[in-house]
Amino acid sequence: MQIVVLGSAAGGGFPQWNCRCPNCLRARSGDVAAKPRTQCSLAISADGVSWFVLNASPDLRQQILAAPFLQPRRERRDSPIAGVVLSNADIDHVAGLLTLREDHAFVLHASGRVLRVLEANPIFDVLDRDRVIRRPLPLDRPVPLTAPDGPAGLDITLFGVPGKVARYLEDPAQPGFGTQAGDTVGMQITHQGRSLFYVPGCADIDEALAARLKGAELLFFDGTLWHDSEMVEAGLGRKTGSRMGHVCIDGDAGSLRRLAALDVGRKVYIHVNNTNPILIEDSRERQIVGQAGWEVAYDGMQVTL
Ligand code: MLT
Ligand code: MN
Ligand code: ZN
């Protein structure tokens, strides 16, 4: 299986258009230790010909321009993108669907809940239902990923992770803001017995998730924030990571500690917010994650499993 990081930043990207935090200033200045990053997405393929995009970011057009393997090869109208899989209905993971509206046939995979959210929003009707097949995936059970012409040689298991409903659907009157099963999922994608785990949004590492990730060969995990109150302390927002549905990296409950004992082969932080010090290659925090065996995803990063 070939895996390419199309985008490694959280919503807003790096630098974020309206942000003058120290990290964004360094990225904007062209500092080589602060590489710009587009919003979170992976491309995967079993054969290098037909590709699946895991989360369709608002930067998808730019990401395709930077990835020759996702560009037209055969017909006058053509794309190697056979399908899209969504981990939630957040704007940074679904807005790129609108980029794919030019009559291209593909299969859109997501939990039933996420597909219902899209269903309820008429802007997504721009994806012609005769050409874009919406395929609800079960939770906790492997099924083949499908291209419009059939199975693509990859199996996918979606599994629920702690999280919340998309921000634009939060209902303050409801417990958990109205979050339902399937609002936030992780993915395990398997090819010839080898698996990739992709969990770009996760509010907590509970026993079920720890058991699932134990011994995984390759994990891309939520690296949104270093510290739970990092955005509040920087004066950039009122929300903590836990309020936003993201477990932080540092601290007793943080992912660095909680995932340390799980014997994961290759651990990569992705969906990294522009305030997170691990984005800066010469920072103390980057050194800490590196020493703990973590990599920080960057746009264009390639892994073959
Ligand atoms: C998140 O990851 O928390 C969301 O992308 C935030 C948002 O919708 O702006
Ligand atoms: Mn996000
Ligand atoms: Zn910033």
What pLDDT, in 10s, does the model give residues 189-201? 999 999 999 999 9
The CA distance from 199 to 197, in Å, is 6
Name the residue with the closest Cα to ligand 1, atom 9. Answer: 11
- What is the C-alpha separation between 211 and 197, in angstroms, rounded? 13
Q: How far is the CA of 300 from the centre of ligand 2 (A)?
A: 19
Find the 12 Cα to ligand 3 centroid distance in Å: 9
Q: Which atom of ligand 1 is nearest to the CA of 244?
A: 3
Name the pairing type of β-strands 51-54 and 81-85. parallel
List CB-based neighbours of ion ligand 2 within 5 Å. Answer: 10-11, 90, 92
| Distance between CA atoms of residues 36 and 49, nearest Å | 28
- Chain position carrying tokens 């608002």: 58
**Ligand 1 centroid – CA 200 distance (Å):** 11
Report the separation in Å between the CA atom of 271 and the middle of ligand 2, taken as the mean of its atom positions. 7
Specify the long-range contacts of residues 20-26, CB closer than 8 Å, at least 24 apart: 21/234, 21/236, 21/274, 21/275, 23/274, 23/275, 23/276, 23/277, 23/279, 23/280, 24/274, 26/280
92 token code pair: 């940074």
Q: 42: which residues sit within 8 A by CB, 6+ positions away?
A: 3, 4, 5, 6, 53, 54, 55, 198, 220, 270
Residue pair 96/59 in contact by the 8 Å Cβ criterion:
yes
Measure the CA–CA gap between 171 and 175, rounded to whole angstroms: 8
Tell me the C-alpha distance between 24 and 115, whole Å. 34
Ligand 1 mean position, distance from CA 199 (Å): 14
Which of 16, 17, 86, 90 maximizes ligand 1 atoms within 8 Å of its Cβ, making it the mutation to test the pocket?
90
Is the CB of residue 7 less than 8 Å from the CB of residue 41?
Answer: yes
pLDDT < 50: residue spans in the chain: none
Ligand 1 atom 6, closest CA? 11
Could you tell me where the beta strands, DSSP code E, fall in 124-164? Answer: 132-137, 143-147, 150-160
Q: Ligand 1: residues whose CB is within 6 Å? A: 10-11, 90-92, 167, 201, 244-245
Ligand that lies nearest to the alpha carbon of residue 245, given by its number in the listed order: 1
In degrees and rounded to multiples of 5, residue 105 shows phi and psi of -90, 125
- Maximum distance among all alpha carbons in the chain? 55
